[in-house]
Structure 1
Amino acid sequence: MELAGAVTIFLAICISCLALASAWRRMHKAGKLPPGPTPLPFIGNLLQVRTDETFKSFMELKEKYGPVFTVYLGPRRVVVLCGHEAVKEALVDQAEEFSGRGELASIERNFNGFGVALANGERWKQLRRFSLTTLRNFGMGKRSIEERIQEEAQYLLEELRKTKAQPFDPTFYLSRTVSNVISSVVFGSRFDYEDKQFLALLRMINESFIEMSTPWAQLYDMYSCIMQYLPGRHNRVYYLIEDLKDFIAERVRANQATLDLNSPRDFIDCFLIQMEKERKNPNSEFNLKNLVLTTLNLFFAGTETVSSTLRYGFLFLMRYPKVQEKVHQEIDQVIGRNRIPASEDRMSMPYTDAVIHEIQRLTDIVPMGVPHTVIRDTQFRGYTLPKASTTHRL
């Protein structure tokens, strides 16, 4: 028994030494990285970075190591950029080097680099250019996005009137409103607020965001090479997103069956027409997979972020009634009570405009944004960031 115990201890020491040596070689090979806490084998800096308070942990490390520092989330190296100046230098002054999209392992199985939000390189350029142009020029029928928003706002007001001044939770009213604007753009029509398909869509989107925010998802992002083979809650988001993909694919099939190449009704029609135009182009990124996943990206990017910002806006206005009163006065003076607000009113409403911007600043729904990667070995503030290094911005 004593011999077996000694052998076990010896093997444990050997494995620990090998792990330490491997970590040292990895750090040495990485070149002159920004400073940061010394990582431990396998767990990295998880003793310094709490998975339930990542943003707060990063801000504490900023105070010690400065606005640019390196941390290891498990075995994954991350360079964190803090503050306006550092972020501007990366995303504006060196935009090309920092243009890569970082991998979100918890949803990578669903997207595999397809769809505008998680694509890289030429795929990202083609999809981004098309999406921005289509949404900006509204090449999808005769109504602008502003008109769609104005229409949906009227439906929201009707729902709020039904509460008859009784207390209510605005969460689902707002998410239905925002999602219906997106639905109008990508599907060509809105849903009734009690439509079962619509409610199922919202439930899946909401639950996906919840699952992506859990410690399980963060652990998956760090140790996906192991956890992808294990059962558990971390797999739930995969099945939710697959259901969302099926929902959108069904809508795409319906559009394909009734498509008029000369009269696009929505974003999906515009994409299908572009697919037809580039049918003989072997380098085209316009295919059904990118269509489904780009449409899903639009829902993800808009629904939860916008509805949460609106909800926080209500809370801030309740917290500061004098601000609410001044906003109300400006609305009455400029718009009155007999017409719908329009984007052109913004120039005449500086106080309301400032309040909206302050709400967005304070809310900060996605404080670290989507991770980026550097597409080549990059010199930044005297440091060397190896190709494919992940970066977060605060």
Structure 2
Amino acid sequence: MTPLNLFLAYPAPALLLCGVIIFALLCFSGSSRKPPFKLPPGPAPLPIIGNLHLLDLKRQDKSILKLAKQYGPVFTLHFGFQKAVVLTGYEAVKDALVNFTEEFVDRPPIPIFEEIQHGHGVFFSIGEKWKATRRFTVSSMRSLGMGRKLIEERIMEELGFLVENIKSFKGEPFNLRTFYTAPTNITFIILFGERFDYEDSTFRALLKLIDEVMCLLGSPLLHFFNFYPFLGFFFNVHKILLQKIEEVRIIIRDYIETSRQDIDANSLKSYTDALVFKQKEDTNKKENLFHDDNLIASILDLVIAGTETAATTLQWAVLLMMKYPKIQKKVQEELRQVVKPGSWATYEDRKSMPYTNAVIHEVQRFITLLPHVPRCTSTDTHFRGYFLPKGITVIPSLTSVLLDPDHWETPHEFNPNHFLDSDGKFVKKEAFVPYSLGRRNCIGESLAKMELFLFFAGLLQTFTFQPPPGLTEADLDLNVPKTTFTLRPQLQPVCAVPRE
């Protein structure tokens, strides 16, 4: 959404914004000195708005790809008054996040996340607090069985509930978002130590709140709040978002209090239990990083991010199988050949199922689920002939890597052959980075890989997915995803035909 479209869609806030811009222009027009360091080149900024006129706020990733063609893999963008260095393509992104991992490890102070987390949690904290919280989170997840046989059994159990839920529609159309429930439950099992019935009131409330939060995070007006936080009193979107977040916090606080009452040091059943026990252990330390605010923020990070990513990817996977029935049939044939009748595919089976494995990887590459999450420099940094001062925002575009024409033969097509050699064997690709790179890579990567394989394989063992009567594969929309914090598919109807 360009500023002009924003003006037409939201005339009252836009008029107020224009007034403030004019005032700011008068105040700051004489202070446009060049910085005393060499930033990468980029489009010339306009007063006040910078380069916002060049960006589609609903699909910033696409705007960045267009600008990269003109300015190269490393360039500077101005988001209002804020400068950001954009990295595009595999070579530039890998160079920064792997070869300069310490220099690009921090997060910038994004206004909305400052309001939500106040520098706490796993994702948007920095320094020693981030190191300690992430280290503890990774260790706790491993102890809870993430990526091991124990969690595989829970995923298999959840698959059974999901299959029964889909069977209840008896071949009639149902909403694509139905697939959100099972991956979300796996996250909640790890966070809270229990799964929810799909009709449970707390479960439904959390699903609704997470959905609303993710949608609000993708709102163009929220982007404007991040660009011009001093104009926040003109807009309501961030206030509504903070209200929704507080409703999630209330549920989290209840689980923390329950954990405090029932905790057994010899039997920690959840991430919440582990955090509460860690807090008790560190009570007498001079600086206890695991205070209540950090506990709640860390759980909140995993509630929001841990549910959205795997659940949305599974929805895309089903939609793509509907869109490409020949690929779906080929996956089902491989499943028939490898998996014993009456059994679910196991995670170990993926080694004998190169085509299915390739399809799952291609789903993640093709959908570019999370276009980018900003970093910032932790120190003054010399990078590729440029000087990046400490604290400058850096945007490593994962979309540009997953669609890099130097690494993918048909980057804009859904093509499982990207992950197969000439003999049909699965091949790893270095430019496959949906979980990011470096020290800030996704904490739940191993869990997400297991979930996606087991849910996807089990669903295609049981059902053939196809468009409802009256629709064809050509009617299915892949090109206009709903932009939230991630790129979601449109809410399209699905038919699941049971297989013999």
TM-score by length of 2: 0.72
**Is the 8 Å Cα contact of residues 139 and 270 (structure 1) preserved in structure 2?**
no
Matched residue, 1:295: 299
Matched residue, 1:372: 375
State the Cα deviation string for residues 23-82 of structure 1 (Å, max 9, x = none).
Answer: x22x424x1000011112211111222323311211111111100000111111111000
State the Cα deviation string for residues 145-204 of structure 1 (Å, max 9, x = none).
Answer: 222211111100110111111111130x22211111111111111111011111011100
Separation in 2 of the partners of 1:16 and 1:234?
25
Matched residue, 2:285: 281
- The question of 1:168 aligning with 2:147 is answered no
Structure 2 counterpart of 1:187, from 187, 192, 209: 192
Matched residue, 1:357: 361
Q: What is the RMSD of the two structures over their aligned residues, measured on CA atoms?
A: 2.0
- Residue 14 of structure 1, CA deviation: 11
Matched residue, 1:222: 227
Helix, strand or coil: the match of 1:117?
coil
Matched residue, 1:197: 202
- Stretches of structure 2 that go unaligned for 5 or more consecutive residues are 1-20, 398-500
State the Cα deviation string for residues 273-318 of structure 1 (Å, max 9, x = none).
Answer: 1112222122332222211111111121121221111111111111
- The question of 1:266 aligning with 2:275 is answered no
- Residue 16 of structure 1, CA deviation: 4.7
Q: Name the amino acid aligned to 2:35.
A: H
**What is the 5 A alignment of 1:42-53?**
42-53=48-59
- Residue 346 of structure 1, CA deviation: 1.3
Helix, strand or coil: the match of 1:166?
coil
Structure 2 counterpart of 1:98, from 95, 104, 128: 104
Report the CA distance shift for 1:253/1:207 in structure 2 as closer, same or farther (over 3 A): same
- Residue 219 of structure 1, CA deviation: 0.4
- Residue 393 of structure 1, CA deviation: 1.4
- Stretches of structure 1 that go unaligned for 5 or more consecutive residues are 1-11
Helix, strand or coil: the match of 2:224?
helix
Matched residue, 1:76: 82
Matched residue, 1:157: 163
Larger radius of gyration: 1
Identity %: 38
- Residue 139 of structure 1, CA deviation: 6.5
More helix by share: 1
Separation in 2 of the partners of 1:254 and 1:16?
54
**Is the 8 Å Cα contact of residues 50 and 80 (structure 2) preserved in structure 1?**
yes
**What is the 5 A alignment of 1:321-360?**
321-360=325-364
Structure 2 counterpart of 1:390, from 388, 393, 400: 393
Structure 1 counterpart of 2:237, from 230, 233, 240: 233
State the Cα deviation string for residues 2-23 of structure 1 (Å, max 9, x = none).
Answer: xxxxxxxxxx99975762332x
**Is the 8 Å Cα contact of residues 40 and 76 (structure 2) preserved in structure 1?**
yes
- Residue 255 of structure 1, CA deviation: 1.0
Separation in 2 of the partners of 1:273 and 1:139?
18
Separation in 1 of the partners of 2:313 and 2:247?
26
Q: Name the amino acid aligned to 1:213.
A: G
State the Cα deviation string for residues 313-345 of structure 1 (Å, max 9, x = none).
Answer: 111111111111110011111123312222111
Separation in 2 of the partners of 1:221 and 1:90?
24
**Is the 8 Å Cα contact of residues 24 and 48 (structure 2) preserved in structure 1?**
no
Q: What count of residue pairs does the alignment treat as equivalent?
A: 376
Matched residue, 2:70: 64
Report the CA distance shift for 1:14/1:188 in structure 2 as closer, same or farther (over 3 A): closer
Separation in 1 of the partners of 2:368 and 2:23?
47
Helix, strand or coil: the match of 2:68?
helix
**Is the 8 Å Cα contact of residues 68 and 86 (structure 1) preserved in structure 2?**
yes
- The question of 1:88 aligning with 2:91 is answered no
- Residue 107 of structure 1, CA deviation: 3.0
Report the CA distance shift for 1:231/1:59 in structure 2 as closer, same or farther (over 3 A): closer
State the Cα deviation string for residues 202-261 of structure 1 (Å, max 9, x = none).
Answer: 10000001011011111011001231x335233211111111111111111111111112
- The question of 1:250 aligning with 2:254 is answered yes
Q: Name the amino acid aligned to 1:197.
A: T
**Is the 8 Å Cα contact of residues 196 and 203 (structure 2) preserved in structure 1?**
yes
**Is the 8 Å Cα contact of residues 107 and 238 (structure 1) preserved in structure 2?**
no
Report the CA distance shift for 1:332/1:46 in structure 2 as closer, same or farther (over 3 A): same
Structure 1 counterpart of 2:35, from 13, 20, 28: 28
Matched residue, 2:313: 309
